[in-house]
Structure 1
Amino acid sequence: MGDRDDRNRPVYMIGVAAQLAGMHPQTLRSYEQKGLVNPQRTSGNTRMYSQADIERLELITELTDEGINLAGVIRILDLQGRLDERDRELDDLHKKVRRLADRVHELETRENVASLVRSGQGGLALRRLP
């Protein structure tokens, strides 16, 4: 989770972000207005872009360079966001299944040990005291 947090940390002001993304700052403002990117804001209302925002801007450039208009880019980004969310949900479900499988294994092991002890096959010599 740390990598995701680092990628989303707002660190670049608009001029630096524009330079990193190979765009004019006004383009970033326009993209924000169209909902293509949503930089965080400081208490003084300064736009602050994260590495994830820069990567998103680079993807927008790549898509528009391929001839996709901004409406198409918006749709693609929306679908990508949904896919990413489903991937996170699937990862969470896999973790839950692994925890449940571990718990089942633990309970089966306890039951097997208890069964061996009950049947006297546990390797423990139980003697009755007179």
Structure 2
Amino acid sequence: MENSKTPSEKPEYFLLRPEIEKAYGYSHAVKIGNHIKISGAVSMDDEGNPTAVGDFLQQMKNCYADLDKILKHFDCTFDDVVKEDVFTTNMPLFLEHAEYRSEIYKNHFPTGSWLGVKELALPELWIEIELEVYKL
């Protein structure tokens, strides 16, 4: 069988903050066919500086705001998310604010994992959220 890709299978890369992502060496999202993998979003500004330092809920909201921008780029919504993995340096604080996810996922919750980690990319960051999307 020939190794040829149809146009829909050709990876489409998306950079939310190109300079930062190139400096750190990653793409924020990659779409192949109907599948989209989205790198972990953290609470940062367009220069890569942490935002909402010391405010867990606002960091969480900032993550979802960035994820929403990426989903919209691909004409998707949170209804198209099939997997959500949350990484946090403070699981008790995440559990305290986890109900906020009901404002994000209005129709159904995706699969996924909640993982307590020792640290994220920068010490001021307390939460990182990554997604997998399936869009018909």
Question: How does the TM-score come out when normalised to structure 1?
Answer: 0.21
Q: Bigger relative contact order, structure 1 or 2, given CA contacts below 8 A and separation 6+?
A: 2
Which one has the bigger helix percentage? 1
Find the structure with the greater CA-based Rg. 1
Which one has the bigger strand percentage? 2
